[in-house]
Amino acid sequence: MFTVKIPVRFVDCDGMGHVNNAVYHTYFEEGKREIFRLFTPDLSLDDFHVIVASTHCDYIHEISYGETVTVYTWVSTISRSSFDIDHAIADENGNWHARGRVTMIGYDYRRKEVVPLSDSIKAILDQHHQGPNGVPALRQLRSEGLSVSYS
Amino acid sequence: MFTVKIPVRFVDCDGMGHVNNAVYHTYFEEGKREIFRLFTPDLSLDDFHVIVASTHCDYIHEISYGETVTVYTWVSTISRSSFDIDHAIADENGNWHARGRVTMIGYDYRRKEVVPLSDSIKAILDQHHQGPNGVPALRQLRSEGLSVSYS
Amino acid sequence: MFTVKIPVRFVDCDGMGHVNNAVYHTYFEEGKREIFRLFTPDLSLDDFHVIVASTHCDYIHEISYGETVTVYTWVSTISRSSFDIDHAIADENGNWHARGRVTMIGYDYRRKEVVPLSDSIKAILDQHHQGPNGVPALRQLRSEGLSVSYS
Amino acid sequence: MFTVKIPVRFVDCDGMGHVNNAVYHTYFEEGKREIFRLFTPDLSLDDFHVIVASTHCDYIHEISYGETVTVYTWVSTISRSSFDIDHAIADENGNWHARGRVTMIGYDYRRKEVVPLSDSIKAILDQHHQGPNGVPALRQLRSEGLSVSYS
């Protein structure tokens, strides 16, 4: 599990006075810094080897300007060319504010094609399956046509 | 179905040279403008009545600076207090670049509580179930522990 | 003079309920699209030849979500390696919302060095000295120690 | 003088592979947090009393993903209703990356009007005139029609 502290910026908050929903995905991206570093040790942007395939975020509580949040990041699934990264965001009192999952794919940006994960990368990712204690479950996407109330 | 054209901004693109993953969620947000207007006819930000509960985006093809994309927006599920909005992003040649779903909840920002959708709002939302032709299906979240390869 | 229309995005607005001050600089950047195209006809981000040296913006009136603003862009000064681009932002009623100036420099991103502007580029820039009618003057930076009241 | 450390986010970098010019203004905004707190001790966004009148930034060196920069913030001018805040951005080796100035105005967001600064606010601002050692001077805006080469 990787842990990153993020100070909420003034501009992260939208007209509702709280952190905008898209910015949570930016926080997840910051949570993945040490995972990016597995593929690109110096974080050089012209030497990246992964691309995002899917992002998902469940919003639990609003986040405000002036707060510092903690992003927890761990690996839930490893496949041939892709892996799922789970995220959770907590505040300084340990309350959960969001829960997410991002699917990443090994990618060659020059040839524009998917590449399998190396065994050594898989072995390292495999050491990070453990998430934080008490983290809430992800909400599943509702099937089309199915009507289930949130409230 | 609602249709919004969005010119890609220079700053929407990150160091990978394509539109950043979080910005797709911003494009979805722009796609919802006419849905926001159902709740807030003049779009005044201090009179909003919905909040985002979940966001999901599947990335299909990269989007580049200089393009204008089209965001298609329709309603997939309506419940007591919440509704699901589906999105798809296409380029000017009709190629699909992304597919997403956002769960919104009726919300009172002053009292900080969920409120049921009115019958009149539900009736209008109910007229927008139709998505664009040929739109790809959403990918489901992988269950924890299950290993399915993307490639 | 170049003219670009920009729909204000929900996320452009910060917690004050208006477009954030930094986003005006993004609007100026969008205003420069046709100038970028002089240097990079296909707008390919890995083939850019200019870099920003200075940005300045005077804020005149707030901009709100739901508006579409017009960015006017023209060339005020052309030098050996640099040129100044002036900007002004107006709303649909012709009211001025901002006034700015950006200094750009010819730049080789691979060699990380300043390069002179070509004569052909200068000749084209030279055709765009005319700004919009009635545009307000730029405020000068106050000299250090000098105390002049805005109000 | 106020000092804030800012971790560069992945999304702060644009297609040029460096921090986007508009994001420097966001960094300046983060540098002002303790100044905002003078007016709004709990940083509550619905209780702000200042508005931005002008922003200026000179870019000295590119900033990269993975860096943590330091924003220095001090007060250069205090007037009846407005004050100028100076900023400088340095990296962890003490190299200067940017220099800026932002004019703020006392503002009543409900009545939409400029308000004078209180004597107590002025007295506190007056204690923060000192900038960091060795900080570069601001570049002046070029006068219209005057041609001075940067290179």
pLDDT one-digit tens code per residue, A84-125: 999 999 999 999 999 999 999 999 999 999 999 999 999 999
> For residue B26, what are the domain limits?
2-126
Residue A145's pLDDT band (cuts 50, 70, 90): very low
Which other chains touch chain D, taking contact as 3+ CB pairs less than 8 Å apart? A, B, C
CA dist C63 and C94 (Å) reads 13
Residue B139's pLDDT band (cuts 50, 70, 90): confident
Residue A65 is assigned to a structural domain of this protein: yes
Residue B147 confidence (pLDDT)? 36
State the best of A78, A89, A151 to mutate against chain B, taking most chain B CBs within 10 Å: A151
Extended strands (E) in B9-95: 50-59, 68-78, 82-90
Residue B141 confidence (pLDDT)? 66
Report percent pLDDT > 70 for chain B.
93
Min Cα distance D83 → chain C (Å) is: 9
Taking an 8 Å cut-off on Cβ atoms, the answer to whether C26 and B17 are in contact is no
CA dist C121 and C50 (Å) reads 12
Does any CB of chain B come closer than 8 Å to the CB of residue D109? no
Residue A140 confidence (pLDDT)? 72
CA–CA distance from A32 to each of A75, A88, B58, C32 (Å)? 10, 12, 18, 33
Taking an 8 Å cut-off on Cβ atoms, the answer to whether B11 and D20 are in contact is yes
For residue B87, give the DSSP letter. E
Residue B48 is assigned to a structural domain of this protein: yes
CA dist C113 and B109 (Å) reads 51
Number of domains in chain C: 1
> Up-side HSE of residue D8: CA atoms within 13 Å toward CB?
27
Out of C79, C81, C138, whose CB is closest to D141? C138
Residue A97 confidence (pLDDT)? 98
**Look-up: residue for tokens 């107006």?**
C90
Q: Is residue C101 classed as helix, strand or coil in its secondary structure?
A: strand
Which other chains touch chain B, taking contact as 3+ CB pairs less than 8 Å apart? A, C, D
Low-confidence ranges of chain C (pLDDT < 70): 141-151
Residue B149 dihedral angles phi and psi, to the nearest 5°:
-85, 140
Residue D109 is assigned to a structural domain of this protein: yes
- Residue C89, both tokens: 């932002």
Task: Burial-class residue C31 by CB neighbours within 10 Å (0-12, 13-18, 19+).
Answer: buried
Residue D49 is assigned to a structural domain of this protein: yes
Does any CB of chain C come closer than 8 Å to the CB of residue A20? yes
pLDDT at A142 over 70: no
| Strand bridging mode A50-59 / B50-59 | antiparallel
Residue A72 is assigned to a structural domain of this protein: yes
| C chain contacts of residue B29, beta-carbon cutoff 8 Å | 9-11
Residue D139 confidence (pLDDT)? 86
Taking an 8 Å cut-off on Cβ atoms, the answer to whether B42 and C66 are in contact is yes
Does any CB of chain B come closer than 8 Å to the CB of residue C11? yes
Low-confidence ranges of chain D (pLDDT < 70): 141-151
Q: What is the CATH number of the domain that holds C110?
A: 3.10.129.10
Residue D140 is assigned to a structural domain of this protein: no
Taking an 8 Å cut-off on Cβ atoms, the answer to whether C17 and A20 are in contact is no
Residue D134 dihedral angles phi and psi, to the nearest 5°:
75, 15
Q: Is residue C44 classed as helix, strand or coil in its secondary structure?
A: coil
Taking an 8 Å cut-off on Cβ atoms, the answer to whether A56 and B56 are in contact is yes
Residue C112 confidence (pLDDT)? 93
CA dist A95 and B65 (Å) reads 39
Residue B68 is assigned to a structural domain of this protein: yes
Taking an 8 Å cut-off on Cβ atoms, the answer to whether D11 and A26 are in contact is yes
Its pTM stands at: 0.94
Q: Is residue D37 classed as helix, strand or coil in its secondary structure?
A: helix
Out of B77, B82, B150, whose CB is closest to A146? B77
Residue A119 is assigned to a structural domain of this protein: yes
Alpha carbon B30 to chain centroid distance? 8
Residue B40 confidence (pLDDT)? 97
- Residue A125, both tokens: 């990712």
| D chain contacts of residue B13, beta-carbon cutoff 8 Å | 14-15
Does any CB of chain C come closer than 8 Å to the CB of residue A109? no
- Residue B71, both tokens: 């965001």
Residue D140 confidence (pLDDT)? 72
Mean pLDDT of B15-23: 97
